[in-house]
Structure 1
């Protein structure tokens, strides 16, 4: 875990829970070198001096070709995940957007599909599955991989 002066430093990443009723949009990873073949939410990391909501909107435009207005994104879950570098994963729900989701990065994504929240596909990125399960249960916060 990254530490500076004894203080934990965390990587922040954003995740899009794009909802159409009880269905969410998931993509299948390919050619990335990490968890290829697994299903995952649209996710990304901020660029220098970019706040989380701006990152979410940019990633949705780049990876799905859709436009999200800031007021249509609602923070619904936070997952603090212990990895080689501590991670704070922010999950935003969006139910209103402009455009039709498309696979704009076919070199990294085999395709996007709608899946019911109660019937998530396998294999799926484990932390995303946990976050979606906790989100569905109404939990705003969860932790993963921390020692008890």
Structure 2
């Protein structure tokens, strides 16, 4: 068993993994958040916090299974950028794209998701979280790192 040592003298930021699923028509899958207390009613990507001892790609695959009931091969994930994002709690977000998966996405956690929406990545619905649009744009343009929400321009 791996032992972890935590430095208590420095701030720590949560790490999350987000999945940009792209269908054969080029659309991306968004989930309408519900019941979480954060951004409920808004559209977001399938995502979750990286657990202790877990890698971001393993987290993205796990969340795809838990939230959508689909199988995503970690080896088939394409890194799509990292975002150091200012939020109520600043965080580090890893983004991955996937164009191939097993199964049909469906809501597997109705207490956290009210709707699935396939959207044009160049014309996201107005009620999508702003950082989601930025992350998708970053992935499309090859911007590998972004600091989002730290100044008046983001």
TM-score by length of 1: 0.89
Equivalent residue, structure 1, for 2:132: 128
| Structure 1: gaps (5+ residues) | none
Cα distance in 2, alignment partners of residues 53 and 13 from structure 1: 10
Equivalent residue, structure 1, for 2:82: 78
Note if contact 2:17-2:59 (Cα within 8 Å) is conserved in structure 1: yes
* Superposed CA offset, 1:52-103 (max 9, x none): 1111111100100000111111111111113354311100000111111111
Q: Specify the SS of the correspondent of 1:67.
A: coil
Aligned-pair CA distance for 1:25: 0.4
| Structure 2: gaps (5+ residues) | 1-6
Instruction: Answer yes or no: is 1:19 the counterpart of 2:22.
Output: yes
Note if contact 2:80-2:138 (Cα within 8 Å) is conserved in structure 1: no
Q: Specify the SS of the correspondent of 1:20.
A: coil
Aligned-pair CA distance for 1:136: 2.2
Cα distance in 1, alignment partners of residues 112 and 143 from structure 2: 31
Aligned-pair CA distance for 1:124: 1.3
Aligned-CA RMSD value: 1.8
For these two proteins, the number of residue pairs brought into alignment is 145
Instruction: Answer yes or no: is 1:66 the counterpart of 2:70.
Output: yes
Q: As a proportion of its length, which structure holds more strand?
A: 1
TM-score by length of 2: 0.86
